Structure 1
Amino acid sequence: MSALDVDEFIQQNRGLADQVETFRGYWESEKHWQARREFILRNISDFQLPQQDRLLSLSMVWANNVFLGCRYSTELLDKVKDMAEGIEVEDAPVFKTRDEIMKKQQGR
């Protein structure tokens, strides 16, 4: 789903889009929210009402990993990466682990 597809989906599903807008955190930048909103919209049909909190949690895990470099279990990251397949985040930060930095320092 490209940005154009997301906009079209929102136009066609105004009620759902309005509901999803309520999930935005006050701390989220426009860039952060646009990506997380796309994640939610792509996956919302797989998570009915009792499971919507799970979807929101998974969207935060994905966004925290992409934008803040937070690390989670391999199993969880694999799951959210599969759920986010095709979402393009422009200028996403690149994070290096302490081990990667140390290995580079030792190679000098």
Structure 2
Amino acid sequence: MSSFDVEDFIQQNRVVADRVETFRTYAESEKQWRGRREFILRNISDFRKKQTNYLLSLSMVWANNVFMGCRYSAELLDKVKEMAEGIEVEDAPVFKTRDEIMKKQQA
């Protein structure tokens, strides 16, 4: 979905949107939840109800990578980045690896 309007989707799919709201974790900030909720809503139609846990796991991988800098295999990151294409996160943190930090200190 290249042009995905979250609010429009929520208005047209109230039952799905209400169900997705139950997936928010206690510790998620509003910014993190908005991004992860959009990830879930964009992809929920591609997963059957029995696959919801898989979708939620992928949404957490994406959120952990974007908001906390967690690293995963290239294959997994490619998959979630493709699924998240078009999601805009304002003021997303920028993370540097230890090697990048050490290289800068030595310069």
- Gap regions ≥5 residues in structure 1: none
| Distance in 1, Cα, partners of 2:52 & 2:9 | 19
- What are the equivalent positions in structure 2 for 1:16-27 lying under 5 Å apart? 16-27=16-27
RMSD: 0.8
| Distance in 2, Cα, partners of 1:24 & 1:70 | 19
Query: Which ranges of 4 or more aligned residues in structure 1 deviate by more than 2 Å?
Result: none
What residue is the counterpart of 2:91 in the other structure? 91
What residue is the counterpart of 1:60 in the other structure? 60
Count the aligned residue pairs: 105
TM norm structure 2: 0.95
- Counterpart of 1:27 in structure 2: which amino acid? A
How far does the alpha carbon of each residue in 1:22-79 deviate from its partner, in whole angstroms, 9 at most, with x for none? 0000101111000000000000011111111000000000000000000111110111
1:93 Cα shift?
Answer: 0.2
| Distance in 1, Cα, partners of 2:44 & 2:13 | 12
